[in-house]
Structure 1
Amino acid sequence: MTDARRAYADDADVLARLLWDFDTEFETEVDDVDVLADRFRRLLALDEVVAVLAEDDGAAVGFALVVLRPAIWFDGPVAHLDELYVVPALRDRGIGTQVLDLCRRLAAEAGSPEMHINVDEVDADTRRFYERHGFVNVEEGTDYRMLCYVGPTA
């Protein structure tokens, strides 16, 4: 039986290993696990950072990381889902949905009325997953897609 729960700094090593697995699966450059674990420990000490860990019989099988940031559009923070990962062998079993549902509930409890997610256009499976859960890239009343741009800070 898989259970999703809020993760804390004590879970940093497990979260780091999952993130490393995620990035290496998709051939994304990634720091060493110990560096990621230190970052998770530091980030999870912040009130505006929320992590969720999915476990099956004590084994970590997925995670998500959400950052809550102040927003001008409404009184609560906007939630940004930075990462959501489920180990490949267990995909399509509802674990991602369980993790996402808990992330949404925790964000709502923190006062966030909205969650943002960036997804690569070519990642059709991930786009279908989020669309199935009510996420859109065309706002109601418009006929054009929202895009995310990435650039240097200096």
Structure 2
Amino acid sequence: MIALPAGVPEPRVRTAVQGDADVAGALLYAFNTEFESPTPTAQLLGERFRRLLARPDVVVVLAEDEAGDATGFALLTLRPTPYYDGPLAQLEELYVRPGLRDQGIGTVLLTASIDRVRSRGVGEMHINVDEIDVDTRRFYERHGFVNIEPGTGYRMLCYLREF
């Protein structure tokens, strides 16, 4: 059980199925537009989620309120790695709707996501966070994630290149 603020009901979390593709697409679109990131339309994201949710190496966890309305989601991908017997997980996105933040929904989503990928034998989870996003970095650090290479004093960096 996760400690939530007084009077806040714990959200229901569940693994999304293909029928949830449009909901996941709308949540990702809201996330991207809120932070002014380039984004396809919610409809196109929904179409892509329909394909992704059919894959065994993609996990989407939805948080819902008592009425069954989506309050947030987490998107994870799994990939093979020689470092563990099981796959490596990448937390691609974790989003909670504005106005519902600081109520423990993100913690519930992250905890449920970890539980789901652990049950698939995942040996490690990666999360990329913008350096200037101090609140998000603190959130992940509070949950045991680090950006310091174990056994060293230097930070790990993520490089990317779009094609």
TM-score (norm 2): 0.92
Query: Where does structure 1 lack aligned partners over 5 or more consecutive residues?
Result: none
Match of 1:126 in 2: 136
Taking the aligned partners of 1:130 and 1:88, their CA distance within structure 2 comes to: 18
Q: Deviations over 1:70-129 (max 9, x none)?
A: 001111000000000001101111100100111101110110021000000000010000
Task: Give the residue type in structure 2 aligned to 1:102.
Answer: A
Gaps of 5+ in 2: 1-8
| Structure-1-length-normalised TM-score | 0.97
2:62–2:109 CA contact under 8 A, matched in 1: yes
Q: Could you tell me how far apart the structure 1 residues matched to 2:150 and 2:59 are?
A: 28
Deviations 1:16-41 (A, max 9, x none): 11101000000001101111001001
Whether 1:71 and 2:87 are equivalent positions in the alignment is no
Kept after mapping to 1: 8 A contact 2:85/2:123? no
Q: Percent identity?
A: 57
Note the C-alpha offset of 1:139.
2.1
Out of 51, 60, 64, the position equivalent to 2:70 is 60
Q: Aligned-residue CA RMSD in angstroms?
A: 0.9
SS at match of 2:37: coil
Is 1:18 aligned to 2:27, yes or no?
Answer: yes
Matched residue, 2:124? 114
Q: Aligned to 2:149, which of 132, 139, 145?
A: 139
How has the CA–CA distance of structure 1 residues 46 and 95 changed in structure 2, closer, same or farther, with 3 Å as cutoff? same
Kindly tell me the number of residue pairs found equivalent between the two proteins.
153
Determine which of 97, 105, 116 is the counterpart of 1:87: 97
Equivalent residue letter for 1:12: A
